[in-house]
């Protein structure tokens, strides 16, 4: 054996165990582990360059989670039949891991670092996303890469009223809350998930419960690192330093920056004045010959530190924010619905300098989104797309399609609105919501939630309750213990703050959240206070939204398509579709309606979708005629299909023929069928009986008055 495998095990209770091993696979990576629970296995690797690229002042970290289709015994779809670009689902898991790892790397570590997590074996009921953060952190733990971890991620859910860590996929259908929580042994660093209108207290309890499980998983990683002979972390020097230059920049610019921060200027004006202060310092103190790359790098870094300190101190010491608000005030809001007359529903929502134009499109079953992943595959009938063009922030940038940020923000808004959508027969439509961000200065994802709610209600979708969202921030001073919780944060406050906490909900409770923390030692009472303050802001925004539209419209727009849903017996599904789809295609072509039919719970569920009532009525009549059951005693207008010496076969409903015997045609006696009917004639008949073989016995004469016998 040419490898030395080392393992450790985490006991999750109730017979569930997670195994972490290293030393067997991918040994040329800086760190690699395999995490296994049941049949689910993840391979995580990490590689970090030995040196940082010149001029880099951030951590170039990339995290990629990918599912191998072979892990689930499936072959990928598409022409190439191989794994391609990451799906939205894989991107979302990559983001969850990235957001948990990134704050734990040293601030001055700037080497290119790549974490790759592959699903190499899939248990159909054990969800791999809850193990991805554990796998990534464990790979770093057994490497020499500097890291202030370990961390781990778990899924916490409340199933049947009980909190559960990493529940089975089958159990999630009954969950009233579901969060992915990441943290170290001491701190929570990331939370994301959804819930069914829960209280703030219930959410804090779930996060605390998750943290207990995280501590167990962190300890297991420490033990694994010790078993492999805990590697010494590499030495690095990725940033030049010049304390004397830092002091000069602070002395020359701090007061000016503080004054601009306090002046409540608009975003772009404020940014321009900050730039002018920095440029003036350089012009006054450095000639061209003195400005080398290291000096330029340090001036940019230290001047950013000045802005960071000035803005934070202004908030902590004077309670004044960049736009002049206090900590709790939400920026002015205006909204409008039915802005796009041709859309099925639309809304504009503007809060301060953030604006979303959102549209709703109603579609049929054929419009459902196909999900073709290795672990999760099926169909999705609620789609939300979030677009963030460069002009929304006054920038010039090529349009290359949605990036990871757009996918993540759109998913948060989708989760929020999904909780209040009508279900089952109450919502027959496939719904697509598109949010185009036209202006952005803080929390465009929350503007998407608000605009999405208004647009859905404008479309006539019967939401259970309207949803609003708010982004909260936190500024802290560890030395003095001062802190400020900020409602409705600006973009700069997000960048310069210690927490970005987005919460969405109805009047009754929380439906989704997304939290990222950049500090250590957040007290639970501060988190509770932030949630309470977020509720106050959410309810304020809801009241502003209600001024525009308080409840869903009574009906869909006149130009919106209509859907009629009904069921037929399973045995008639084939008859409605016809050989090779001939019957259903003919009905769609002749009526102009779109028809979808599928078997659900031993019933044929039919959806007829069209833009006018006449098309729907025509299609429904035809389908019901095909699927109708002949009933004894009923009278039918039938068509003569064939003529025999002993009678005629009459089609009383499509696909159902009955025998009209020669003796049942009239009260008078016929010796032959010659000249009585022609094929294609319409004849009114009554169904007398259905025998054990299903043959139909018809009569025409019972519908004709019986002639009286003459006295003669």
What CA–CA distance (Å, rounded) separates 18 from 646? 78
What CA–CA distance (Å, rounded) separates 386 from 413? 9
Contacts 24+ apart (CB under 8 A), 422-426: 422/461, 422/462, 422/463, 422/464, 425/565, 426/462
Residue 21, CB-side half-sphere exposure with 13 Å CA sphere: 15
What CA–CA distance (Å, rounded) separates 666 from 681? 16
Nearest one of 440, 468, 454 to 540, comparing CA atoms: 468
Q: For 143-166, give one letter per residue: b (16+ CB within 10 A) or e.
A: bebbbebbbbbbbbbbbeeebbbb
Question: 3-state DSSP call for residue 503?
Answer: strand
The answer to whether 356 and 436 are in contact (CB under 8 A) is: yes
Both ends of the chain: CA-CA distance in Å?
115
Please report, for residues 278, 323, 330, 353, 488, the alpha-carbon distance to residue 268 in angstroms, rounded to integers and kept in the order given.
16, 12, 20, 11, 19
What CA–CA distance (Å, rounded) separates 263 from 158? 47
Strand residue runs (E) in 131-288? 152-159, 162-165, 175-183, 188-198
Interior angle at CA 411, CA 408 and CA 415, nearest 5: 145
Burial class, 176, CB count within 10 angstroms (exposed 0-12 / middle 13-18 / buried 19+): middle
The answer to whether 174 and 161 are in contact (CB under 8 A) is: no
Q: Which residue has the tokens 């599928």?
A: 598
What CA–CA distance (Å, rounded) separates 557 from 460? 7
Please report, for residues 170, 221, 267, 415, the alpha-carbon distance to residue 167 in angstroms, rounded to integers and kept in the order given.
8, 22, 45, 19
Question: 3-state DSSP call for residue 432?
Answer: strand
- The length of the chain is 712
SS3 content of the chain, % helix, strand, coil (to 5): 35, 30, 35
Task: Please check if 108 is assigned to a binding site.
Answer: no
What CA–CA distance (Å, rounded) separates 250 from 281? 10
What CA–CA distance (Å, rounded) separates 346 from 357? 8
Write down the H helix ranges in 112-196: 129-141
DSSP 314: I
Indicate left, alpha or beta for 443 from its phi (over 0: left) and psi (-120 to 50: alpha).
left
DSSP 682: E
User: Would you state the structure tokens that stand for residue 21, as one six-digit string?
Assistant: 């091993």
The answer to whether 30 and 48 are in contact (CB under 8 A) is: yes
The answer to whether 281 and 296 are in contact (CB under 8 A) is: no
The answer to whether 109 and 238 are in contact (CB under 8 A) is: yes
Please report, for residues 43, 506, 596, 636, the alpha-carbon distance to residue 538 in angstroms, rounded to integers and kept in the order given.
41, 8, 40, 61
Task: Please check if 618 is assigned to a binding site.
Answer: no
Question: 3-state DSSP call for residue 156?
Answer: strand
* Binding site, annotated residues: 494, 500
* Binding site, annotated residues for Mg(2+): 494, 500
């Amino acid at each position: 054996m040419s490898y030395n495998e080392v393992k450790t095990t985490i006991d999750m209770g109730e017979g569930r165990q997670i195994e972490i091993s290293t030393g067997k696979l991918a040994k040329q990576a800086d760190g690699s582990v395999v995490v296994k629970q049941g049949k689910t296995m993840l391979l995580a690797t990490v590689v970090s360059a030995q040196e940082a690229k010149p001029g880099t002042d951030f951590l170039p970290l990339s995290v990629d989670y990918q599912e191998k289709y072979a892990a689930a015994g499936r072959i990928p779809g598409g022409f190439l039949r191989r794994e391609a670009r990451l799906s939205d689902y894989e991107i979302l898991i990559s983001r969850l891991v990235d957001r948990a790892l990134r704050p734990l790397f040293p601030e001055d570590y700037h080497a290119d670092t790549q974490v790759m997590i592959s699903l190499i074996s899939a248990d159909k009921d054990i969800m791999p996303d809850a193990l991805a953060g554990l796998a990534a952190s464990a790979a770093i733990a057994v490497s020499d890469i500097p890291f202030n971890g370990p961390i781990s991620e778990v899924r916490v859910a409340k199933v049947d009223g009980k909190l559960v860590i990493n529940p089975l996929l089958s159990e999630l259908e009954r969950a009233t809350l579901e969060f992915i929580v990441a943290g170290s042994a001491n701190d929570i660093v990331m939370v994301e998930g959804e819930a069914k209108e829960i209280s703030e207290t219930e959410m804090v309890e779930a996060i605390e419960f998750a943290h207990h499980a995280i501590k167990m998983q962190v300890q297991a990683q420490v033990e694994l690192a010790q078993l492999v002979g805990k590697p010494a972390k590499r030495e690095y020097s990725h940033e030049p330093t010049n304390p004397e230059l830092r002091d000069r920049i602070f002395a020359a610019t701090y007061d000016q920056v503080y004054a601009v921060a306090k002046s409540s200027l608009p975003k772009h004006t404020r940014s321009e004045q900050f730039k002018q202060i920095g440029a003036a310092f350089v012009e006054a103190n450095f000639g061209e010959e003195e400005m080398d790359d290291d000096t330029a790098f340090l001036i940019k870094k230290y001047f950013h530190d000045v802005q960071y300190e000035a803005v934070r101190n202004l908030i902590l010491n004077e309670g004044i924010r960049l736009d002049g608000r206090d900590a709790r005030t939400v920026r002015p809001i205006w909204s409008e619905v039915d802005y796009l007359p041709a859309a099925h529903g639309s809304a504009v929502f503007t809060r301060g300098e953030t604006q979303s134009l959102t549209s709703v499109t109603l579609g049929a079953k054929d419009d459902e989104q196909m999900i073709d992943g290795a672990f999760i595959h099926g169909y999705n009938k609620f789609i939300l797309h979030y677009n963030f063009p460069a002009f929304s922030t006054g920038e010039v940038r090529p349009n290359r399609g949605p990036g990871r940020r757009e996918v993540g923000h759109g998913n948060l808004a989708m989760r929020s609105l999904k909780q209040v959508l009508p279900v089952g027969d109450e919502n027959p439509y496939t719904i697509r919501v598109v949010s185009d961000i036209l202006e952005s200065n803080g929390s465009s994802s929350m503007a998407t939630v608000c605009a999405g709610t208004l647009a859905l209600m404008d479309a006539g979708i019967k939401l259970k309750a309207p949803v609003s969202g708010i982004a909260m921030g936190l500024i802290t001073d560890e030395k003095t213990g001062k802190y400020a919780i900020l409602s409705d944060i600006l973009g700069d406050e997000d960048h310069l703050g210690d927490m970005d906490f987005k919460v969405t909900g109805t009047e009754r409770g929380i439906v989704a959240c997304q939290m990222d923390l950049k500090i250590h030692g957040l007290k639970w009472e501060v988190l509770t206070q932030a949630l309470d303050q977020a509720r106050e802001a959410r309810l304020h925004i809801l009241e502003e939204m209600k001024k525009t539209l308080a409840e869903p419209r009574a009906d869909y727009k006149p130009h919106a398509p209509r859907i009629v849903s009904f069921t037929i017996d399973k045995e008639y599904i084939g008859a409605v579709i016809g050989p090779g789809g001939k019957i259903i295609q003919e009905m769609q072509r002749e009526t102009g309606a779109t028809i979808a039919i599928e078997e659900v719970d031993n019933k044929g569920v039919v959806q007829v979708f069209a833009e006018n009532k006449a098309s729907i009525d025509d299609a429904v009549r035809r389908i019901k005629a095909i699927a109708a059951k002949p009933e004894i005693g009923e009278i039918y207008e039938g068509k003569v299909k064939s003529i025999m010496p002993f009678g005629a076969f009459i089609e009383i409903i499509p696909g159902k023929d009955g025998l009209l015997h020669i003796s049942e045609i009239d009260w008078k006696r016929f010796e032959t069928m010659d000249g009585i009917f022609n094929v294609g004639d319409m004849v009114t008949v009554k169904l007398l009986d259905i025998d054990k073989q299903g043959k139909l016995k018809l009569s025409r004469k019972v519908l004709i008055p019986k002639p009286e016998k003459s006295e003669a």
